[in-house]
Structures are given as structure tokens and as C-alpha cells.
Amino acid sequence: MHEMSLMAGVFDVINKTIAPYPNAKVTKVILVVGALTNAVPDALQLAFEVFAKGSPVEGAVLEIQEVPLKLKCDECGWEGPVDIYQPVCPKCRSFNVGVIAGRELLIKSLEVETDGD
């Protein structure tokens, strides 16, 4: 379950972000996850809850925004979403394609409450 290691990285970023605010309480995290991460949303949610326990993130809402695999064909110029298991241009059938979306794993938004410190 590689979602645990992915979430460990997410929590590294969260902890560094809130470190200057000792009484911070995270209320919501929006996570953007590309198809090529092969991350399962339910497993990410479970990993989030494990890492959040006993931390300023405990009780926060995790919103996962999934990004499909999107390619650009270097032969015919076609751009669009494709099946992750068939990374080929649907227009000209070329394998000469580049990924333009679907690799993402990033925190889009972090909502934090502080007591004014």
C-alpha cells in the first residue's frame, strides 16, 4: 500500500507549513492526485486518518480531486484523456506521446485555524 508513503510526504509538507503557528488546527486539506500515481482514494483516506491521529490535522476533512491521464501526440498534435493502460494516441495510434496531466500529487489547499498567534 504505497498510499502510506505518499501520505507521509503530504504530512511532511503540512507539518512544515503549520510549524510557525504552534496552536494551528488544520480543518481541511484538498489533495490533487493524478492517475499515474496509482493511488486508491479510499487507501489515501485511510492513510490520512492514520497520520492525522493525535496531530493538529486530526478531524480535518480530506478532499481528493482526481486528475485523469491526459496525453499530447507528437505525431498528429491530438490532446486529450486516455485510458491509463493504453497510452496511445486514439487518433493516429502513435505511441509517440507525452504526458500533459496525470502525474500530480500536490496539496491544492490547506485550511487552518489559528488562535491569532
- Indicate the domain borders of the chain: 1-68+101-112
| 92 annotated among ligand-binding-site residues | yes
Query: What is the arithmetic mean of pLDDT over 69-92?
Result: 95
pLDDT at residue number 115 = 80
Q: Strand 97-101's sheet: what is its strand order?
A: 79-81, 70-73, 97-101
Place of cell 490535522: 57
| 89 annotated among ligand-binding-site residues | yes
| 98 annotated among ligand-binding-site residues | no
pLDDT at residue number 116 = 62
For 11-51, write each residue's pLDDT tens digit.
999 999 999 999 999 999 999 999 999 999 999 999 999 99
Is the model's pLDDT at 117 over the cut of 70?
Answer: no
Q: Using DSSP, how many helices (H) and how many strands (E) does the chain show?
A: 2, 6
DSSP 117: -
As a whole-number percent, the residues of the chain with pLDDT over 70 amount to 97
Is the model's pLDDT at 1 over the cut of 60?
Answer: yes
Mean of all residue pLDDT scores within the chain:
95
Consecutive H or E run containing 4:
helix 3-18
Q: Which CATH code, of 1.10.10.10, 3.20.80.10, 3.40.50.2300, 3.30.2320.50, is assigned to 1-68+101-112?
A: 3.30.2320.50
| 73 annotated among ligand-binding-site residues | yes
pLDDT at residue number 13 = 97
| 99 annotated among ligand-binding-site residues | no
Q: Is 75 helix (H, G, I), strand (E, B) or coil?
A: coil
